[in-house]
Structure 1
């Protein structure tokens, strides 16, 4: 029996923190900080309300990050998890002070005159709880872990906050033996992503004192699987000159869709079982740049409002793509510079400012499949041949958004330029 293959998305964001200079770091004694307003119990605050305070900024950040990635590699596939990068950086901001902190939060698209830091962290805390809500048919696990050199003494208040707000934990590691530390972190990520991301760290700078890892693992079944019997070889037109052969999945059924005449694109929503949906966005040939330029919160909410249920014959390529990003380079272009330099103030972590982020990496992986034979053969609706619905064929570059509909969060975002690119 063939094992069912699942749509799967994974991401890892890794931040390396090392000493500003090679001098021994002198550890300041633990300072007792005043009680944070966020320590106060939230008076029966609705978790969804609190999380909705940060979602619009997370969405803005997603599109800003996307544009940076697209500018750096215009002809490449793009795939990343904005919500996971945002959570990793928000956690970093919890340990930052001064302009280091302001830059990180503004880089995350927060307007600090409209929202307080406490609200941001509380919002992330609620968002992470809601995303991994039990009883959902979607398997979504997301978390942050700090690997710290065993000589580092993190402040108790910081450890308490990352646990309470980000479900994060700190693990003591031996960074003097960089191979051992690297293997420990790689094994940890391999385990958290169920063996799909084997090696995120190729090497580890011997001066590293701390590595922040944020991972997200997502596995879900289509609400209406594609029938494996109908998957066939077809061509995907990468550009005017190049076509590649792909496995094209086909399904005749009802989907919510919208034709955006102004942006010359079609939007098709494909629901997963549970509260998550994928939006496949197909620009007319030659209109990708125009579409990328118009990606905003307003555009996406207009699409969502305009969706209507149509019957169509949908063609989507099977794919398995990954994206790896140098977060440091992209974030510096977005104005987040201090935490990566000797001006970094990360004294909220250890009480001592002598640490900076030396390296930040992000890796994401996406697999889209029919969902295996058993499920698909039974539940696929094959209409009678005498009625022929319109065909919507994703056979040239398109965009993809995977959205948690309960919180309206963009879990993953990508551009498929060449489904055969490994």
Structure 2
């Protein structure tokens, strides 16, 4: 019988707060990534590596979203496609034969267009750029491997996950299950700044390794909402039902696009730093039409078509979370072998047959008015010409909408979701 390799994906979503930016905890790890970034900065090819994988990562994000939509029905969705793809691509370093092919196909990597080495160098560069402590957004992403002493990792696998994914290898005693669970939960609680607590409840008796990926993002609106303008309002769940929400309001210039073909508004709300949130508001009754059209080409077209214009914007405050069984979702997407007794993960450890017994994912998002003060350039608004245009549109996110958090430095979709009920707290 195969030992179980338990793959665990943990992350925290967006938190827009008016607190001061705290320093990243692991200064040594941070310096290591920075030094590596400097070492590679001379190589133009490696600097472009993250661009090469961005297209595949976007394809995966929308493919996974559509699978998730089928699974959860008309409920809130929130997840990090980048976290999931990073964890499974890291795992692929130890996969062989058909197990490897299935993983790459599921993750939307085409090996006729990308070499395996390029894929891993791409993720290496993404990690370097995301963990830059001098960015205006607080963003940290990392990986850890908790391994049992019974498992002898192959040096090549250990070297590759350290080199490309900056993964920490942490010894753990899985024969003492409660102690191992406590160790892993303490690690993830620390890395997510106390936002994800006690996620791991149990371990398979045969577990010899747990792979953790975390991502923490805390953004500060470039143009914060004034809390004095926030008021109680109705959010329409459907034609007959509504809930009361705290609705934020702004009347400023944003990048906006009206997609007449798909019948939706797209509004880009920037964070300080090179990141932005895209909010997509389908017209009443067109959510499925917009969701079906979610492809990287669609989002690229939206972003290319943005027009800076003044709008009256209503956006609800919300705090939601999502917990997902990634194993089940991947199996429905055709990635099955890595979870079965046919798994070939022979590149991970010496003389040990491994399979993935479980893959879980949790994400949290918190959107509110606060942020650091707007940069000086945002004060300049071309209001004098507004009379030459029609009245600014009033875009009210008072019905189900989509959200994406995009990092423009790495061309990555960090988080993605659908807000059906901003008042719902359940996972």
Q: TM-score, normalised by structure 1?
A: 0.87
| Aligned equivalents of 1:43, 1:225: Cα separation in 2 | 37
Please state how far the C-alpha of 1:205 moved relative to its aligned partner.
Answer: 1.6
* Kept in 2: contact 1:265–1:284 (CA 8 A): yes
Per the TM alignment, residue 278 of structure 1 is displaced from its structure 2 partner at its CA by: 0.4
Match of 1:221 in 2: 220
Corresponding residue for residue 316 of structure 1:
315
Are 1:253 and 1:381, in contact at CA under 8 Å, matched by a contact in 2? no
Give the Cα–Cα distance (whole angstroms) in 1 for the partners of residues 165 and 140 of structure 2: 13
Alignment partners' CA distance in 2, 1:4 and 1:112: 41
Q: Deviation at 1:91?
A: 0.4
What is aligned with 1:243?
Answer: 242
Alignment size in residue pairs: 385
8 Å Cα contact 1:91/1:166 also seen in 2: yes
CA deviation digits over 1:305-361, x for unaligned, max 9? Answer: 100011011110001011111000011111111110001111111033511000000
Question: Which residue is 1:400 aligned to?
Answer: 403
1:203 is matched with 202
Deviation, structure 1 residue 6 = 6.6
Identify unmatched segments of 5+ residues in structure 2: 1-15, 22-39
Number of the residue aligned with 2:179:
180
Q: Counterpart of 2:345?
A: 346
Please give the residue correspondences for 1:131-210 in structure 2 after superposition, counting only pairs within 5 Å: 131-210=130-209
For the Cα contact (< 8 Å) 1:7–1:371, is it kept in 2?
Answer: no
> Is the 8 Å Cα contact of residues 7 and 368 (structure 1) preserved in structure 2?
no
Kindly provide the CA deviation profile for residues 120-174 of structure 1, in whole angstroms up to 9, marking residues without a partner as x: 1111111211222242101110011011112111112211111110011211101
1:284 aligns with 2:283: yes
- After superposition, give the CA deviation of every residue in 1:185-244 in whole Å (9 maximum; x if it has no partner): 111100000000002212112211111110000011000000000111001011112201
SS of the equivalent of 1:135 reads coil
Q: Aligned partners of 1:88, 1:198: CA distance in 2, in Å?
A: 20
Matched-pair contact (CA < 8 Å) for 2:46–2:121: no
Gaps of 5+ in 1: 9-40
2:11: which partner in 1?
none
The runs of 4+ residues in structure 1 deviating greater than 6 Å are 378-384
Indicate conservation of the 8 Å contact 2:18/2:220, yes or no.
no
Residues 159, 169 of structure 1: 8 Å contact kept: no
Q: Is the 8 A contact 1:237 1:244 kept in 2?
A: yes
3-state SS of paired residue (1:153):
coil
Give, in whole Å, the separation in 2 of the partners of 1:65 and 1:6: 33
Q: Is the 8 A contact 1:226 1:370 kept in 2?
A: yes
Secondary structure of 1:105 counterpart: helix
TM-score (norm 2): 0.86
Distance 1:222 1:86 in 2: 27
Taking structure 1 as reference, are residues 249 and 87 closer, same or farther at Cα in structure 2, changes over 3 Å only? same
Say yes or no: does 1:64 pair with 2:63: yes
- Shift, 1:4, TM fit: 4.7
CA distance in 2, matches of 1:219, 1:319: 15
